[in-house]
Structure 1
C-alpha cells in the first residue's frame, strides 16, 4: 500500500473504531499507526485491539505501528455534597485533606504531593482552566486559595499546576500496572508518557522498558519545556500534546512552542507528533472547519513526522472521513510550491558520524540526479531515521529484516517500510532493492535509485556505502 504523502497519521482507537473491519478501513483511509489510550482501555481490551491490528497488518501486508498511551498522574478534586456549585471571583476557597464532601468553602484534594509542593502565589487550574485559583498559603494540610476567574466547580474535575513541580515521577500505580501489561504483550512499538516534568521521568521508565518499546515523551507541562533539550536526548520521540499544554501555559504561546519543538526534534533526528483537536469538529460533522484545515497544514509545512487524531477517530461519528480528510490535506500541502523551500530551510547540519554523512550524500545525489528513490537497509531503525532527517524530495524505502523495527518506523516522516531478509551479498543487496522498489511502485524499468547499506552486511550501525543502480526490465538490477 503506497502512500502518496510523507507525513504519517496516528489514529486513536475507541468505541467508534475498535472493531477489526473499522480498523482496516482506517488503515486503508490513511492511518499508519494506531494509539491505544490506556486512560480508557482495560488490559483485556488492549490485548484485543492489538490482536485485531495485527490481523489487519497481515491482511494488508504492511507493517503497522501501535502506540500505548499511559494516563500519567491525573490530578482531580474530590466530590461535593451537591455535585456542583458556583463560586465568586475574589472569594476564599480551600483545598484540604478532609475526605468529607465539599461545599462552597472547601473540597477534598486526594493528592498529598500537591500539599507538599504548592507555594503562595502558585496557580491551580480546575477543569481545564475554566476555574483559576491562586494559592495564598499552604501548611501541608490545606491550601487556602483565592478564586481568580471562573465560577463553576463540580465532582472529580481535573487539577493542573503550571507553577508547581511535583515531587513524584511520571508513573502512577495504574501506569506501572499498565506498563507491565503492555510489555507482557511484546507487541507494542511505542509507549507515550504523559505529564513528563523532567528527564528523570524518562530514565525511570527506561529502566523498566529497556529497549522493548520506543519512549515517546508527551510535552504538556511548562516544567518539561524548561528542560526540553535533556528530555529530547533521553526520549525516542516527542508528542506535542497541545490540549494540556494550552491549559498549563498561555494559550497564545502554543503555536510558537509547536514550531520550536518540531524544529528541535528535527535537529536531533527524533520523530515528533503534533496532537490534539486537529480536526475536532469532525467528531460530529463530516467536514472540518477552515481553521482546522489550516492547523493540520501548518504541522505538515513545519515537517512534523506525524499528525494525530484523538476523539475524531476514537469516538466520533466520522472516523474514516477524519482520517481520509487528514491524508488529503497532507497530500495537498506536500505538493504546494512553497512546501519544499519551507521544509528545506529548517534543515540542520549533519552530525559528524558516518551514518549522517552517508544520509546527506544520498539525499544530495538523489536530488541532483533526480533518482526515483532512496533505499536504505536498516536493522535498528537508526539509518532510516537519519535518511528521514534529511527530508529528501524523493521517496525513502526502508528495508529491514526486523518486523519490530519496521513497525516502529511507521511514525517516521517519509519512510515506506518493507520487511525483508538481510541481503546475502552485494549483488543480492542491489537486486533486492531494485526488485522491491519496482514491486512497491517506486520505480519502473530504466529508473535509477540510490542504495545505502553497511559492509559487512547485516551489521547494525555500520552504514558506510552508497550504490546507484538501474531497475532492469524484469524489476531486477539493470546496467
Structure 2
C-alpha cells in the first residue's frame, strides 16, 4: 500500500511541475497574447500551454496514469490545463487528500470541442447530413463550362470548392464561381469558395526540344507476331487537340486518297515503309502500318497509283525530351535560362558532355551551399549539391530508379534542409489577391514558412479591406513551416477565421518519407490545441479520381482523414465517384471515430 501511495505522490509531483511550467510560460506570453483576436484568446493560451507541455518527455507518466486506470492525456490537446487539473484532483482523492493550492482549470473539455466545431462551421460552412468532416474539391477548368458536373459535385457532398490561381485565368475562375453558386442555390446549399494563391514555385526550366518526329509501332504478341497494326491518321493540319498518332499532309493531296491505296515512304532511319489506307472520312484518312516507322517533318510519301503525285509531311511538333538520370550521375543546374540538354555519349558509351537544366527561380542560388539536399519531381529523384559556383551548381544523384529516372521540364525542385528565404507572396499573388478578395470566402496561402509571411499576407488583406471578412487557410508544406507552426498560428490568430492545410505531398518531400507520419500527427495535435480546423490534403483517393479504381491503402488513408475537419480532393475524370465513396466512408466511419478519439458502438456483423 505504501508503494502505491509513493507512486501516486510521484505522479502528483510530476503534474505539479508541469502546471508550474505552464503558469510561468503564461506570464512570459503576455505580450504575444495582447495581439491575439478576442475570438482566439482562450485558444492561444491553450496552444501555449500545450506547446510547453510537450517540452516534457511524458511517456513514463502516461504509463503510470494508465496503470491506475486514469487518462493518459493523449487526447487532451484541446483542453490541456483542465485535464491536468482534474487528473491532479483525482490523484489527491486517491490519497484521501486535496491540493494545497487550487488552480483554475481554464477551458473545459466540453467548451474546447465546442470552439473547434464553431470555427469549422464559420470557416468551411455547414456540414453535410450525417457527416462531421467537410469535403473540399479542386475545380478543373472544365467546371467553367460544364454546369452539370458542378451540380453533381454539390449534390454528392462538396462543401467547399477550391480554385487554384496557379492555373487558368480570371475569366475561367469567374465562370467556375458562377456555376458553383448557381448549383448551390438550386439545391439550397451553401458551398464555400476557397482560392489558392500560387506562391513561389521552384521548378526545372525548359529542355531543348527533340526532333520533329513521330514513332508508330504495331502491337505484337509474345512471339513477335503482329496483333494489330499501328494506326496513322492523316489530316491537313495538327492542332493542340490532335491525337499523338496524327501527321499533317497537304489537303489537296489528302483529297485524292482512296481506300485500299498503298503508300510508300522512307522513314528518318532510311527504312522503306508501306502504309495502307483503310478509311477515308471527310478531311482525314486512316492508314495502317505493319512495321515500326519514324515519320518526321518533310518525310516524302508517295502513292503506288501513278495518277497521284508524292507529298511531303507537314510540320510536326517537336518531341518533348527528358533527361535520364541514374545514381552517381552529375547534373548541372544553371542560373541562366538555358534550354536543358541530356548527357551526350560516344559510340562506346563514354560520357562526352554532362546533362544540364536551368532553375526557374535563380534567386535561391545565394542561399545554397555544398552538401545541401535536393529533391526533384515530388521525390522521384534525389541528390546533393557537390560543387557550388556563382552561375551554376552540380548535383550528384543519390536516388533514382535502377534503370534511371526521367527528369522533365516544369518539375518541382525542393531543398528540404535549406532555408531559401522565400516569401510566401509573389507579385502575381498580390495581383490575384484582388480577385480573391472580391469573389472568394477563403484564401489558401501557399508556402508559409514563418510568422513574417503571415504578417505580409495580413498587410495585403488590409489594402483590400478584407481583414476578418476573407478567411485564411495556411498551407503547411515545408519543414520550416512545421518547425515554426506555433508562432505561425499565434500570428494568424490576430484575425477571426483561420485554418491549416496539411499539404502532405510537398511536406513528405520536405520532411522525408520516414517522417511524414509523425509530422502530420503533430500538426493535428497543435491545431487541436489551438482549436483551428485542419484540411487533410494531397492524393486522397487519387487513383480512383484519375483511373476509376482506388487502391486498398487509399481507402485506409481516407479513413485516417477523420482526424481532420475537412478532406481536400484533387480533380479527375472520376471525381463524382470519389465524392460518393468518400461521403459514404466518412459518414459510416464517424460512428467509430470522433476527431482522434475512438468510439465504440455496439459490435455488429457485416
Within a 5 Å distance, the mapping from 1:69-88 to structure 2 comes to: 69-81=196-208, 82=210, 83-88=321-326
Task: Say if 1:24 and 1:56, in contact at 8 Å, map to a contact too.
Answer: yes
Q: Say which SS state the counterpart of residue 128 (structure 1) adopts.
A: helix
1:180 is the counterpart of 2:440: no
Q: 530, 534, 538: which is aligned to 1:268? A: 530
Larger Rg: 2
- Look up the match of 2:470: 213
Residue 298 to residue 88, structure 1, CA distance change in 2 (3 Å): closer
- Look up the match of 2:185: 58
1:200 is the counterpart of 2:452: yes
Residue 207 to residue 292, structure 1, CA distance change in 2 (3 Å): same
Task: Say if 1:80 and 1:107, in contact at 8 Å, map to a contact too.
Answer: yes
Task: Say if 1:39 and 1:70, in contact at 8 Å, map to a contact too.
Answer: yes
Distance 1:216 1:200 in 2: 16
Q: Which runs of no fewer than 5 residues in structure 2 stay unpaired?
A: 1-126, 211-320, 344-353, 493-497, 600-606
- Look up the match of 2:565: 305
Task: Say if 1:281 and 1:288, in contact at 8 Å, map to a contact too.
Answer: yes
Distance 2:334 2:323 in 1: 17
Q: How far has the Cα of 1:281 moved from its partner?
A: 1.3
Q: Say which SS state the counterpart of residue 407 (structure 2) adopts.
A: strand
Within a 5 Å distance, the mapping from 1:66-465 to structure 2 comes to: 66-81=193-208, 82=210, 83-103=321-341, 104=343, 105=354, 106-150=356-400, 151=404, 152-183=406-437, 186-210=438-462, 211=467, 212-235=469-492, 236-300=498-562, 302=563, 304-310=564-570, 314=571, 316-336=572-592, 339-340=593-594, 342-343=596-597
Residue 207 to residue 344, structure 1, CA distance change in 2 (3 Å): farther
How many residues are matched?
335
Q: How far has the Cα of 1:87 moved from its partner?
A: 3.0
Q: Which runs of no fewer than 5 residues in structure 1 stay unpaired?
A: 346-479
Q: How far has the Cα of 1:295 moved from its partner?
A: 0.7
Distance 2:460 2:478 in 1: 23
Distance 1:144 1:34 in 2: 42
Q: How far has the Cα of 1:166 moved from its partner?
A: 1.5
Distance 1:58 1:88 in 2: 54
Task: Say if 2:527 and 2:534, in contact at 8 Å, map to a contact too.
Answer: yes
Distance 2:207 2:330 in 1: 17
User: Residue deviations 1:100-158, cap 9 Å, x none?
Assistant: 32233322223222101111111111122222121123233222221222243222322
Q: How far has the Cα of 1:2 moved from its partner?
A: 5.5
Distance 1:97 1:240 in 2: 31
Q: Say which SS state the counterpart of residue 525 (structure 2) adopts.
A: helix
Distance 1:208 1:342 in 2: 36
Task: Say if 1:165 and 1:197, in contact at 8 Å, map to a contact too.
Answer: no
- What is the root-mean-square deviation of aligned Cα atoms in Å? 2.1
TM-score, normalised to structure 2's length?
0.53
Q: Could you list the runs of 4 or more consecutive aligned residues of structure 1 that deviate by over 3 angstroms after TM superposition? A: 15-18, 284-287
Q: Say which SS state the counterpart of residue 99 (structure 1) adopts.
A: coil
